Structure 1
Amino acid sequence: MDFRHNPHILHVEFNPINDFLEDNETNSTAGERNSLTCVQILIPQELFLALGLISLVENILVVLAIIKNRNLHSPMYYFICCLAVSDMLVSVSNVVETIFMLLNDYGLLDVHPGMLRYLDNVIDVMICSSVVSSLSFLCTIAADRYITIFYALRYHSIMTTQRAVTIIVLVWLASITSSILFILYHTDNAVIVCLVTFFCTTLVFNAVLYMHMFVLAHVHSRRIVVFHKSRRPSTSMKGAITLTILLGVFILCWGPFFLHLILILTCPANPTCNCFFRNFNLFLILIICNSLIDPLIYAYRSQELRKTLQELVLCSWCFGV
């Protein structure tokens, strides 16, 4: 279970990668000896736990705020709520695993190896579900903003609450099912290929959608400025900017992890690649940071959500006092 102390084993035990690395342990060791200048950043488990707890609290507040405020009961915020739940999966899995690791390090826990394997599989499913669902909801939100901008008059007839709920259910079913299949067929490198392909496909989809969205929305905004003599950006444009920031943060935080997967397939025994592998814990911290940063973006870009979050925090503080 103590994956963070072993640079050859992934913390989030994507089993095909572990098996592959174990089969090439000799080559990896030789690669390390030939790359003495590699810098390995050691990250304490307490930092994982602290960031995971902060992220968990933040995303819970976002979900509660959207549930509480009726003004936020719209398809876009339903999708954002689901994105927050996806981030919570990362936080929960990280907190649970870190607690087990700390208890094990201090000799306070004696768990059967079979139980650890079962826990690893559950954590794998949670992490994998988070990846697939996060990318899926980013695409869904992008599509929702696209409809808002270019089909504004028909938006409420196109994106009804019933359709939004159906999309949410389908995304979660697909995410959980694919994650379970990934774990069941962990010995096949096709699992990594599927994850990387899905990541690249969703990025291309979002990039094309956003480029078209911004070009035409910019033209539309200029017409509004000329006609109404107003320089305030439209709500749709603000929403598109917010989601572009979310996508950018996601790429920055998850990119190193997917690069890690690509290098596992392309150059597992290369000394330079092994240098990269040794800092896997740093990539995990970035993933947790993504879960931590997303709620801050929601709060900063949405005045309504920010106000509701402030009310929740103040009520919790007063109740605690």
Structure 2
Amino acid sequence: MMANQSHHTLLLMHHMKLTAAALLEETNNTINTTEANADSTGCVQIRIPQELFLTLGLISLVENILVVLAIFKNRNLHSPMYYFICCLAVSDMLVSVSNVVETMFMLLNDHGLLDVHPGMLRHLDNVIDVMICSSVVSSLSFLCTIAADRYITIFYALRYHSIMTTQRAVTIIALVWLASVASSTLFIVYHTDNAVIVCLVTFFCVALVFTAALYLHMFVLAYLHSRRIVAFRKRSRRRQATSMKGAITLTILLGVFTLCWGPFFLHLILILTCPTWPICNCFFRNFNLFLILIICNSLIDPLIYAYRSQELRKTLKELVLCSWYFGV
């Protein structure tokens, strides 16, 4: 393993210690032990330059900032669903910011431009750990929240505005962020316990099952439910079509989230089940690739928002072209 790549991998693993100290200790020890036999085992390791982490992180950060600004600027987007999407964008921003900050520290340190004190590095790691863990928990929570919101929109369309009020949406958002930060702090305090990995993996699986079950129920019964509103005016039918479009959008978001975060959670599962097996060691050696996928999730989400929402796409275009500033 090249020295630069090894240094980057070790720092990134330490960056994710909140999900398991074993990832830093047990996995790295295993990798170091088997490194001499890497060629004989046929393990393929994809080397990823630090500059790529920085570039993707910056692009993702800019994209998600634009999404937040667009939702804030356009009053037509001031609804519970877009509030939740805004929070999802903020969750993605946490990943981007933590990646950019850490990668910049590593690049400056590698080029001898920055001498990081060990105490300062520990404090930086703790802050980044909170951001990453909060991003995981809040992203999953808001995906579940958006799924529930779409479910209510479709099956309780006439009562939606009385059920999902702005006040309730704000309360839900506050509770999710409070729970995310609190759980992240606990995970850092007890990061040496394998129970942290079990909790994260369990939460990931439960959230996916819950969200998938809601979407499945929505799509299976959507046709039957649509018959009930045939007697209503076109406005009601348009509302139903819009709600289904929103459900499809969030289904795409859930699929992308699963594809991008899935390998990382599989990594955590393998740490618990087969930390010393050769085939698992091959999987561990490509940890940087899994981190790139996580960053790509933050980069892809804003593109999905813009593609699926004409109103949001229009506002984003205005922001990018600065037409709001020049009055065009």
TM (norm. structure 2) is 0.90
Contact 1:142 1:240 in 2 (8 A): yes
Partner residue in 1 for 2:291: 284
1:153 aligns with 2:158: yes
Q: 1:232–1:126: structure 2 CA closer, same or farther, 3 Å change rule?
A: closer
Kindly provide the CA deviation profile for residues 250-279 of structure 1, in whole angstroms up to 9, marking residues without a partner as x: 000000000000011111111110100111
Secondary structure of the 2:276 match is coil
Contact 2:54 2:99 in 1 (8 A): yes
Secondary structure of the 1:10 match is helix
Partner residue in 2 for 1:75: 80
1:51 aligns with 2:56: yes
Partner residue in 2 for 1:296: 303
Contact 1:34 1:271 in 2 (8 A): no
Contact 2:154 2:240 in 1 (8 A): no
Deviation, 1:109, is: 0.2
1:131 aligns with 2:136: yes
| Cα distance between partner residues in 2 of 1:207 and 1:16 | 24
| Cα distance between partner residues in 2 of 1:55 and 1:20 | 26
| Structure 2 spans left out of the alignment, 5+ residues | none
1:189 aligns with 2:194: yes
Deviation, 1:3, is: 6.9
Q: 1:299–1:31: structure 2 CA closer, same or farther, 3 Å change rule?
A: same
Partner residue in 1 for 2:149: 144
The structure 2 residue matched to 1:178, chosen from 175, 180, 183, is: 183
Deviation, 1:221, is: 3.9
Return 2-11 or 143-152, whichever deviates more: 2-11
1:87 aligns with 2:122: no
Kindly provide the CA deviation profile for residues 276-301 of structure 1, in whole angstroms up to 9, marking residues without a partner as x: 01111110110000000000100000
**Pairing of 1:132-281 with structure 2 (within 5 A):** 132-221=137-226, 234-281=241-288
| Cα distance between partner residues in 1 of 2:70 and 2:136 | 24
1:237 partner amino acid: M
2:214 partner amino acid: L
| Cα distance between partner residues in 2 of 1:26 and 1:291 | 30
| Cα distance between partner residues in 2 of 1:59 and 1:176 | 20
1:264 partner amino acid: I
The structure 2 residue matched to 1:62, chosen from 52, 64, 67, is: 67
Partner residue in 1 for 2:16: 13
| Cα distance between partner residues in 2 of 1:253 and 1:272 | 21
Contact 1:83 1:133 in 2 (8 A): yes
| Structure 1 spans left out of the alignment, 5+ residues | none
Deviation, 1:14, is: 1.2
Deviation, 1:29, is: 3.6
| Cα distance between partner residues in 1 of 2:189 and 2:8 | 26
| Cα distance between partner residues in 1 of 2:26 and 2:11 | 11
1:238 partner amino acid: K
Secondary structure of the 1:269 match is coil
The structure 1 residue matched to 2:312, chosen from 292, 305, 314, is: 305
Contact 2:61 2:93 in 1 (8 A): yes
Deviation, 1:216, is: 1.1
Deviation, 1:211, is: 0.5
Q: 1:4–1:169: structure 2 CA closer, same or farther, 3 Å change rule?
A: farther
Kindly provide the CA deviation profile for residues 3-28 of structure 1, in whole angstroms up to 9, marking residues without a partner as x: 75346961533157345653576544
Return 248-257 or 9-18, whichever deviates more: 9-18
Kindly provide the CA deviation profile for residues 23-80 of structure 1, in whole angstroms up to 9, marking residues without a partner as x: 5765444444444211111111111111101100000000000000001000000000
Q: How many residues align?
A: 319
The alignment's C-alpha RMSD in Å is 2.6
Deviation, 1:233, is: 7.3
| Cα distance between partner residues in 2 of 1:254 and 1:200 | 12
Q: 1:231–1:87: structure 2 CA closer, same or farther, 3 Å change rule?
A: closer
Q: 1:3–1:177: structure 2 CA closer, same or farther, 3 Å change rule?
A: farther
Contact 1:9 1:18 in 2 (8 A): no
Contact 1:56 1:91 in 2 (8 A): yes
| Cα distance between partner residues in 1 of 2:75 and 2:175 | 24
Contact 1:7 1:279 in 2 (8 A): no
| Cα distance between partner residues in 1 of 2:322 and 2:28 | 54
Q: 1:82–1:34: structure 2 CA closer, same or farther, 3 Å change rule?
A: same
1:62 partner amino acid: V
Partner residue in 2 for 1:100: 105
Contact 1:8 1:278 in 2 (8 A): no
1:90 partner amino acid: V
